[in-house]
Structure 1
């Protein structure tokens, strides 16, 4: 079930491929004067913003962009907490985690008068409000892109077809030493498979609403995950690690981001990416303005530039992650179109499983179960 339109296509909503080194944890000391300048400091996902994009933005606006990469949502949140909301002018969180930043006073409300809303797909704007982008009646998030976590697979050793492919494929006995997953989201995928098999006490989505329900479900999930732990050849936490599992560590199937499958395929490896029958885990990302941002006008200039058809297409063609810019779909490369069609055939877009808001209590409990899985 999606919070967007019942019938979805790439045109009225939008998928992914990107890879890059992730920055190690660090403490950023902001040495800039407390005044606006002709630059914008962006803290975003590693591999998402290419040199070509930065060059195109500077050429279009005259603003000099400085880009710092991170690899995970937790890395972003932890760094912003260390900096007390300072050090950057624009960050790129997933919408379901935005309430965490609001809770700790790390972001400021979006000045909606500065956003060119007509450039953004309307269903993404309205949907993001319900998914965490609006907190206590104030908007803190502008949607820029969306993508999924689903199944990357070796077409020769583990061919998958839509309608049959399942999160359960990761956990079969013949997959010992052949699987790569991210620990915390693998538990969600495993939960969706168990739910479909009638083996969860409550709907998986209700785990995000109530701690007692969450624990009841996750106690079942973690038992299954630990029992099948031998299937995991490598855990991943960022894009580099996910791709490395296939390149050098022998993974033949994994629950990964769409960007992983797309990047490996671009290298010529026989890797496909497909939504499972339980529904691909879908996420939306976008711009938020930190509480301590200095170059405010430049931050809005960047997010508005990202919503132009040209920038959106440049982004999707480079990463295979879907832009929310109106008109970007008309400018995509044949390779980007082909990847999207192969990943989401049939009714896959109608079955996307959108991440619910992950409140702080949920993240804390989720990490407990994740650590048990990792340590098993």
Structure 2
């Protein structure tokens, strides 16, 4: 099988090395948290900012710290999926919030629908963000038509969560195919559309996929040919699924209360369960963990734009980044945050990405509207099989 051309998305994977993510405190000194942030014309921040973010990402402690540092009152509304965020903004024409938190590969969808505004890059304290995240996100969807719409906030993965007492896995041997072993029938949890990509990578590694996985994001005919092959395997294996998940709470519940012992979940799912002292661990599969980047964008009809920049700049401090990661388990792009992480989060990272795992991250390509439509079509067929 031919190897797809290298893309900017693949290049950024090499930038996220353990040394880069864990090096930090010295570089962080220049962006230590001070407040209140001074805005244009020397005025201290005041008023409010309305944040629309993922469920479980932003803690009350974060909101309180932001207000203490800036004088701005932040109100939080949560959502569970990218589609929920996109549909909400479509319904209001880009009104109702000042900051949103999309994944980078979906940003072009918002730009196409005229729901977000270009960032004024002179107002963003980029020195507080890991440089490779800023540069790499441009080719992943963060820059559209020469204009930047996206300020990187975090990165994470979807990989293999497992109960180490009932479904032990070992890095280098574990792969997406382990989910479909007969011994785990009825005890597996996956998300519909990304579970299909996990199967795609498994099939690709065996030379059983019509086209390279990345090619299906560029060509509709190749997408359908691949999805036909993927769906055949998925439908035949569906009896293994004990629960499908679509959001964080459902994924955690699959392990906590619904009898699942192995699954393809977000890193945040596994770290939350580990914090509860459950025997759930998380490891990158040999085919590569599905990696994503999320960040902040400003809706087209935001009413508190200056305070939206205050939110972004507050986030780009080591302390705010650490508050975020310690709460969610998701790696912040805030430079120097690693110096303030809890021991649990440091150990989780080491366990999840041993050896060469960080160099093998599989970064989500840009998902254009036509691809999302096809993806959702096959997801629905998988769920209904």
Distance in 2 separating the partners of 1:305 and 1:149: 27
Cα offsets for 1:349-376 (capped at 9, x unmatched): 0000000000000000000000000001
**Deviation of 1:13 (Å):** 4.4
In structure 2, the CA distance between the partners of 1:207 and 1:264, relative to structure 1 (3 Å rule), is: same
Distance in 2 separating the partners of 1:189 and 1:134: 27
Tell me if 1:207 matches 2:216: yes
Q: CA RMSD in A?
A: 1.3
The one of 20, 41, 59 aligned to 1:12: 20
User: Aligned ranges for residues 1-376 of structure 1 at < 5 Å?
Assistant: 2-4=10-12, 6=14, 8-10=16-18, 12-13=20-21, 38-376=47-385
Secondary structure of 2:133's match?
helix
Distance in 1 separating the partners of 2:326 and 2:18: 13
Secondary structure of 1:81's match?
helix
Distance in 2 separating the partners of 1:3 and 1:179: 32
**Deviation of 1:176 (Å):** 1.0
Secondary structure of 2:354's match?
coil
Give the structure with the larger helix fraction.
2
Aligned length: 355
Distance in 1 separating the partners of 2:113 and 2:369: 10
Distance in 2 separating the partners of 1:100 and 1:7: 26
* 1:24 corresponding residue in structure 2: none
**Deviation of 1:12 (Å):** 2.5
Distance in 2 separating the partners of 1:5 and 1:356: 12
Contact 1:149-1:255 at 8 Å conserved across structures: yes
* 1:21 corresponding residue in structure 2: none
Secondary structure of 1:292's match?
coil
**Deviation of 1:217 (Å):** 0.7
Contact 1:37-1:295 at 8 Å conserved across structures: no
Contact 2:128-2:335 at 8 Å conserved across structures: yes
TM-score (norm 2): 0.90
**Deviation of 1:11 (Å):** 5.2
In structure 2, the CA distance between the partners of 1:232 and 1:5, relative to structure 1 (3 Å rule), is: closer
In structure 2, the CA distance between the partners of 1:159 and 1:234, relative to structure 1 (3 Å rule), is: same
**Deviation of 1:5 (Å):** 5.9
Secondary structure of 1:128's match?
helix
* 1:32 corresponding residue in structure 2: none
Distance in 1 separating the partners of 2:358 and 2:143: 24
**Deviation of 1:172 (Å):** 1.6
TM-score (norm 1): 0.93
Q: Which runs of 4+ in 1 moved over 2 A?
A: 5-14
